[in-house]
Structure 1
Amino acid sequence: MKKRKKKLPKKNCSSCGLEFTWRKKWRNNWENVRYCSKRCSGN
């Protein structure tokens, strides 16, 4: 059986404007996430 994902929160990237969804690794600081990737964050 395939797991069904619930509706996850989404945000827009501050750099490129891409819409991205919540990831498990961001569960503790989702409020502070602004970029969709390391590349967009400039690191």
Structure 2
Amino acid sequence: MKLPKTILPNKICQTCGRNFTWRKKWERDWLHVKFCSDKCRMQKSKKI
């Protein structure tokens, strides 16, 4: 699935509130991705 960078989907991290963009490594799990990084995933109980 090759998309121009302007069309890539975005989500907001549930921990830090930052906007993050689709990555190739998340291709199969994009619907289930909730966090922008491993650090945010580990700190998921500390929401803003």
Paired residue secondary structure (1:15): coil
Normalising by structure 1, we get a TM-score of 0.84
Bigger relative contact order, structure 1 or 2 (CA pairs below 8 A, ≥6 apart)? 2
Query: Structure 2: which 5+ residue stretches go unaligned?
Result: 44-48
Aligned residues: 40
Q: CA RMSD in A?
A: 1.6
Normalising by structure 2, we get a TM-score of 0.76
Residue 37 (structure 1) aligns with: 37
Q: Percent identity?
A: 47
Deviating beyond 3 angstroms after TM superposition, the runs of 4 or more aligned structure 1 residues are none
* Mapping for residues 19-38 of structure 1, pairs under 5 Å: 19-38=19-38
